[in-house]
Structure 1
Amino acid sequence: MPHLISTVDVRPRVSYRTIQIGPILFEETPAEDDVVQIPGDGWSLTSSDNDFYPLVRLETWDGPAPKPTGAWNYERAFRSRMADRLAVVDLNGVDYGEIALRPGRYHLRLLCRGRDHLEAPLALDPFPPDGPHEDPLEVWVVQMWPDR
């Protein structure tokens, strides 16, 4: 049975509906969709809202990770080489947290729920919140385990 090695929860500030996660060293760039874009060495995740703080959880496992319980609106799987860390960064380059990795090839599972709470325009809020709401409106989970 696979074991959770490490996890980190971060609450990045979303601007222009974008959350950035990387580096992810794709040997062959996967197809993009309306949720995940693959610019350079990482993911650009499209949130449903602006000027808020979703929950982003990064998990490393020693084997195939069990899917978290609950309903998920989005799920996608990837394979990629990974460097020694994976970080969550906002559009201004602020690093909100990272998880350490052993460099190598990994399976990655990306899950999201809560994107249906609101479809915001791209315009930023003139009076954005100063910090996260107690209960995140949107939750993202990135699970990683070695590709053996």
Structure 2
Amino acid sequence: MPHPQLKAEAEFRPAVWFGAFFLSELGSDLPSEHSDRVIGTLACANDTALGFLSGGNDFYPSLRVQRWDHEPAAPFGTDGESGQTTVTFPHGQLQVHTSDGSVYGTLTVPPGHYRARISCRGREHAPAGEYFEEPQDDPAEWWVLQIWPALDE
């Protein structure tokens, strides 16, 4: 198998609202930790959206989104938590947002079916009971979403 090549990367600082933030195809329904695919304690997913389940609330974690040509190595090795799922982006127009629709960035990926690895470290240090109106220097949680084409599914 060829060495995985990073095709694109973007970083976001979304707000955590009610313990979560999302990446979805524009106009997609949001996944629910109660009714859709659950990825450990990290995330939930439906066919066109991912929900990131934070360890805290009312703060701004770091989310790095990476698009690869093949499955890459996990970003934190054995440090942190990680889980995988599949997701389809029919139009490739994605947004990072809260459940109330506040958008913290957009990105475009080639339309298609992807494997997605969600990794996080620092969830145990996420602020609880504090409120931040803007991103802090230290995001407390570091998330990496790696996607690559789902060739065999």
Task: Place the TM-score, normalised by the shorter chain, in its bin.
Answer: 0.7 to 0.9
How much has 1:58 moved relative to structure 2? 0.7
How much has 1:71 moved relative to structure 2? 4.7
| CA distance in 2 between partners of 1:2 and 1:135 (Å) | 30
Structure 1 length-normalised TM: 0.80
Task: Evaluate the alpha carbon distance shift between residue 39 and residue 109 of structure 1 in structure 2; reply closer, same or farther with a 3 A threshold.
Answer: closer
Secondary structure in structure 2 of the residue aligned to 1:116: helix
Correspondent of 1:96 among 93, 104, 110: 104
In the other structure, the counterpart of 2:132 is 129
In the other structure, the counterpart of 1:120 is 128
In the other structure, the counterpart of 2:146 is 143
How much has 1:72 moved relative to structure 2? 3.4
Deviation digits for residues 60-102 of structure 1, max 9, x if unmatched? Answer: 0112222224553221111232231332101221111122111
Aligned residues: 141
How much has 1:37 moved relative to structure 2? 2.7
| CA distance in 2 between partners of 1:114 and 1:141 (Å) | 12
Q: Percent identity?
A: 28
Correspondent of 2:115 among 79, 82, 107: 107
Task: Evaluate the alpha carbon distance shift between residue 77 and residue 71 of structure 1 in structure 2; reply closer, same or farther with a 3 A threshold.
Answer: same
In the other structure, the counterpart of 1:47 is 54
Structure 2 length-normalised TM: 0.78
Deviation digits for residues 15-66 of structure 1, max 9, x if unmatched? Answer: 211111213899xx53454332336742222211111100011110112222
Unaligned runs of 5+ in 2: none
Secondary structure in structure 1 of the residue aligned to 2:118: strand
Moved more, 53-62 or 42-51: 42-51
In the other structure, the counterpart of 1:9 is 11
